[in-house]
Amino acid sequence: MSLENYDKEIFDLTQLELKRQCDHLEMIASENFTYPEVMEVMGSILTNKYAEGYPLKRYYGGCEYVDGIEQIAIDRCRALFGCEYANVQPNSGSQANQGVYGALLNPGDKILGMDLSHGGHLTHGAKVSSSGKIYESFFYGVELDGRMNYERILDIAKIVKPKMIVCGASAYTREIDFKKFREIADEVGAILFADIAHIAGLVVAGEHNNPFPYCDVVSSTTHKTLRGPRGGIIMTNNEDYAKRINSSIFPGIQGGPLVHVIAGKAVGFKHNLSDEWKIYAKQVKANAKILGETLVRRGYDLVSGGTDNHLVLVSFLNKEFSGKDADIALGNAGITVNKNTVPGEIRSPFITSGIRIGSPALTARGMKESEFELIANRIADVLDDINNQSVQQKVKAELKELAHKFIIYDKAMF
Ligand code: DSN
């Protein structure tokens, strides 16, 4: 029986979400539109199979075909990042990170990561996350210019003497220098762990420097700039670490792997290995750049003044309105972004003084520089007159028309 006939409530809400994704301009920097073939395999009979363990070492029978699927995902992942070992089982980026910590640290060990309010991630030691509860966490941040200062990070590392340094960010607009982080880690004898969830799609296209060979362990999600299914991965060149990471994921924190999602990862990686992928990643950066330049031309401040990657951070420290106000006004105009703290933040994390805007999803729809310039101008129009609902409605209508010219999903697919 079809979903529509069996469960109308869920079907209808899914259709509404489809319409929302098609009508609105998705500019949350961590979101993307995955491929129909990835969704096809994720919705397949693979969801029925238990496969606890790893290829050729399972606790259940009947794994001969899913072994093949997981091995292909592993091999493609290794080829993409140029590394020796890959674990493709983490259900999410957070679980990937939890798996890395469990493999390489003991409770109470010191970790040094980027401050959440400066662009880091909850799982990099924030006190509300298990990473900040199980381990003793310390932080580095960005300077008032929005950039990391590697000498300052070295100074902090020398004082903290962490067992592990975590590099990688959720809201950092400049290239991360993994070589410099390696030098810092070597000076203080720390393991270097990179969480490249945000930039992985750029890394594999050569549009951002690769954490290998500098980092000991690397984690990522597969659904952000990589455009694959929702999930996590962990990579390393260290055989001992690889064994510990495998045990830490299963049986450490997960049970049966989501084989249908692993298959989706394999299909996504095939896209990431293609020549078209390099064109996509280059366009993601070009689109973010013109978005930032246009906003600056319209009088808005960007954290770090611009961007080297897929996102911009707009600061409203010098404005009367907050990140939350901007998020709501842009949402009313059909543009989905998220409020974000900025360096020198004066408002609470629920209000904030900034917004984060990303280019990956609209680039996946086929939009290029001219569309991003237009969108940036409309964003500025809304922000210039933030309480004017008629401006928001006018922009919404115009951008809906634009969105419909760049079809991403067809109703018939669902
Ligand atoms: N939620 C992701 C982001 O928006 O960056 C990080 O996990």
How many CB atoms are located within 10 Å of the residue 282 CB?
A: 15
Same domain, yes or no: 44 and 193: yes
Contacts of 98 (CB under 8 A, 6+ apart): 123, 130, 131, 253
* Statement: the pTM of the whole predicted model exceeds 0.95: yes
**Is the minimum distance from the CB of 93 to ligand 1 under 6 angstroms?**
yes
CA atoms within 13 A on the CB side of 90: 26
* 24 found inside a domain: no
Instruction: Judge whether 129 lies within some domain.
Output: yes
120 marked among binding-site residues: yes
Which ligand 1 atom sits closest to the C-alpha of 198? 5
Strand partners, 234: 87, 219
Using alpha carbons only, how large is the chain's radius of gyration in Å?
21
Domain boundary among 208, 241, 272: 272
CATH number, domain containing residue 129: 3.40.640.10
Residue 309: CATH number of its domain: 3.90.1150.10
Domain end position, chosen among 272, 302, 326 = 272
- 49: domain range? 39-272
Residue 215 and residue 298 in one domain: no
122 annotated as ligand-binding = yes
pLDDT tens-digit series, residues 296-306: 999 999 999 99
Among 224, 256, 272, the domain boundary falls at: 272
Residue 337 has pLDDT above 60, yes or no: yes
330 shares a domain with 312: yes
Same domain, 286 and 339: yes
Res. 238: pLDDT tops 90: yes
Per-residue pLDDT at 413: 56
- Tell how far the Cα of 26 is from the centroid of ligand 1, in angstroms: 14
pLDDT tens by residue, 248-259: 999 999 999 999
Cβ–ligand 1 contact at 363 (below 6 Å):
no
pLDDT band at residue 410 under the 50/70/90 scheme: confident
